[in-house]
Each structure stands twice: as C-alpha cells, then as structure tokens.
Amino acid sequence: MEYPVENRKRQRLSVGVGLFLTCILLTTVVGLFAGLMISNYTHNNYVMYAEKAETAPVQRELVRENATAAPAQNSGESETKAGVVSAFAENSQFTKAQIVEMSAPSVVGIDTITTATTNSFWYGYGQSYEIPGSGSGVILTEDGYIATCAHVVEGAKSVKVTLNDDTSYDAAVVGTDSKNDIAIIKIDATGLVPAVVGDSETLTVGSEVIAIGNPLGELRGTATAGIISAVNRTIEVEGQAMTLIQTDAAISPGNSGGGLFDATGKLIGIVNAKVNDSQAEGLGFAIPVNSVVDEISDLLNYGYVTGRPYLGVSTQDVTLRSRDRMWYYSDGTRCVLVEKVISGSAAEAAGIQPGDLILKLENEQITSGDALSSAISAYKPGDKATITIQRDGKEMTVEVTFGEYAPQK
C-alpha cells in the first residue's frame, strides 16, 4: 500500500507551480464541503437520538414485552440506549435498576378505612370507630383493574389508590377470594401500565427477585431485592393453609398485595405474608401467579370465583360443656354453632337450623369454622354429603347437596 503513495508524490513534484496551487485550492474547497456535510449528518443523528431518548418511557411496555437477548459489548454489562434495553447475552436478565424502572409504574399504594365497634367496659359498647389500613396492589389492565390481597381490602368502607406518579383515585372492590387471599379493585383511570405476568412454575431456588410495594403504608414504591428461598412452601396464613413462594427480599407490613418480579421484570407473585418473629429474618412469602390465574380471571369477569361449593351458614367456634348434677364442665369437644342459615341455600334445603351444632362432615370431625370450610372445599357444586349435627342434645344426620357460591345481591 505504500508504493503507490510514493509514486504519486514523485508525479506531483514534476508538475508546474500553477497546477500545484490549483490543486491546493480545489483540495481546500472539497475539504470544507465535506466538513459541512459531516457536521450536518452528525447533528441530524444526534437530534434523532435525543428524540428517541425523550420518547423512551412511552415505549417501555413494548420493551418489556419484546426484549430479547443481545450480544454483550463488554464484560457482560447491560446497556440502555434510546429506549431500547439490551439484555445480558448469557441469561437474558436485566439489571436491578432496569427491573425497577420497568415494574414500579405497575405497583400502587392502597389506603383503606375500616369501621369497627367497641366492645369493652372501658371504651363502652356499640361505639363505632374507624381503623386506617394500608397495602399495595398491582395494575392488571390499562383501564384500572388492580390485584391486591383480600385481607388488605376486607371489610373496608373506603379504598384509595395512589399511583407511582402520586395521582390518587377512589377505588371500588370488584371481588375477593379469601381462600387464596386475592382481591380485585377498580379505579376510574385509563392509560395505566399493567404488569406483564410471568410464569411462576419456572422459578428455582436461588433465582433473583425484586419485591415492590408500600411498606408501612408510607414508603410507596420501595423496592427490595433477594432470591427465591423455596418454592411450594405450605404455611398457614390466618388459619388458611396456602402454598406460597418463599423469598428473603425484605417484606414489611404494607407490602401485602405488592408485586414480586423475576429477573426479566415479569410478575411472578403477589406478596402476602411474612414471619413476624424476633428470632427470624428474611422470611417473606408471595402467592404464585400461576396458582391464581383462574381465580383472578373469574374476579375480573364475574366479581367472584366460580365453581366453589356452598353450604350457606354462618358459624361460631364453640367447645361443648356437659352438666353433672349442679355443675357444668367442658368435655373438650370442639365444633361449630350455626348462627345463621342463608335463605335459599343448600343448608336450608337440607333442614339445618340456627342453633344446630355441626359435628362432622361425612367422617371428618369439624372442630372449627376453618375446618368446615376446608372440608367443604373438597366437593363440587352438586355433590352430596352427610353432615352430623346436634340439635337439642340429640345427634342426627342430614344429607346436603352443595350449591355454587355467588355473592349475595
């Protein structure tokens, strides 16, 4: 490559001075023209880049849905450029900052007011008072349907939702499922950023996750990172056995109903519990999304979960007492007292009455209302079963045909 250059130099030295000056002039003009063209091209490209950067937030949802692994430029670091997030080439993961940026707009804070009644000598009887509460929620649709935990909104007379941008809305409870601790609420808003639902079945112990919620009802948008500590962990939450995801991401009161997101920014769990023990740390739990997809769909479409067996009684847990001459004593038998029978229910059709004691469902001993609910859940609407009751001190059996649960109008 060097030889032709040297040859051209020798040729230039042999021409006249006038031609030499003409060449210099032409070279200068061409250089200035090329410089202007390059400068203009560079400016235009800079403006296009800046415009893309400004519109990046609007395209965030498309990025979250369609992001694919791209070759890493150096040392495996991810890069965000002009609204396009390139993932890690080796595992398609995003950085924690990117996950939070993508997912936080889909998580809301929830504030509730519940009414209670005093029932004590010191504070009087029958006096109403208000109890404030708080929790979190995850946006499911652009038009304002939000998932949260049933215990967050249960019994609330008012529910308020605050979005990631600090906008607040009054919310209505669409439906609740206390069995799975899931509820759907609705706000009158559009253009929201729904979470992209992932696949909780693909989780393995050690997978990285991020929890986003409203701890203490005051720190909305808080993100905490951790790993999956266990999958399919069966624990009891407020008397209800649940199979949950266990994580060591920091979970606090107020996080209930918030999102647990995987390393690709997809929703894989609804946070609902933690172990509150001074001797334990990092024991948080979330409802796997795969386990409640059908229930969430029913709540969205019907306001209740379809296909649930229904007996139709209100009960109270009791312990039986026997009379020995002048004294009563407890014989330790625990069962449930029927306080109310719903009109038109399966219980009414079977002849169950207020004041009856439910002792058994088939051969299963019924020691509490939770035990009765658990036993009933093994059946389907239309199934028949024998219930042993005690009425006026005498045991008898009744046959019940379970109905299908639907909320009372």
Q: Give residue 328's identity as a one-letter amino acid code.
A: Y
- Find residue 360's DSSP bridge partners: 365, 388
Q: Answer yes or no: are the C-beta atoms of 210 and 94 closer than 8 Å.
A: no
* 151, 229, 291, 356: the active-site residue: 151
Q: Is 105 exposed, middle or buried (0-12, 13-18, 19+ CB in 10 A)?
A: buried
* 134, 229, 252, 256: the active-site residue: 256
- The angle subtended at Cα 328 by Cα 325 and Cα 333, nearest 5°, is 125
Q: How far is CA 200 from CA 231, 286, 359, 378, in A?
A: 9, 11, 39, 25
Q: Give residue 298's identity as a one-letter amino acid code.
A: D
For residue 386, give every residue at least 6 positions away whose Cβ sits within 8 Å of its Cβ, in sequence order, or none. Answer: 361, 362, 397, 398, 399, 400
DSSP string of 43-65, one letter each residue: HHHHHHHHHHHHHGGGGHHHHHH
Residue 129 DSSP SS3: strand
Q: Any catalytic annotation for residue 43?
A: no
Buried b (16+ CB within 10 A) or exposed e, 379-400: beeeeebebbbbeeeeeeebeb
| Token reading at 48 | 């296009």
Q: Rounded to whole angstroms, how far apart are CA atoms 231 and 285?
A: 10
| Token reading at 135 | 């929790």
Nearest CA-CA partner of 109 in 269, 251, 265, 255: 255
Q: Give residue 299's identity as a one-letter amino acid code.
A: L
* 111, 181, 262, 356: the active-site residue: 181
Q: Any catalytic annotation for residue 278?
A: no
Cβ count within 10 A of residue 123: 9
Q: Any catalytic annotation for residue 151?
A: yes
- Find residue 119's DSSP bridge partners: 125
DSSP string of 78-121, one letter each residue: -EEETTEEEBPTTT----HHHHHHHHGGGEEEEEEEEEEEEEET
Q: How many CA atoms lie within 13 A of 304 on its CB side?
A: 11
Q: Give residue 90's identity as a one-letter amino acid code.
A: E
Please list the active-site residues.
151, 181, 256
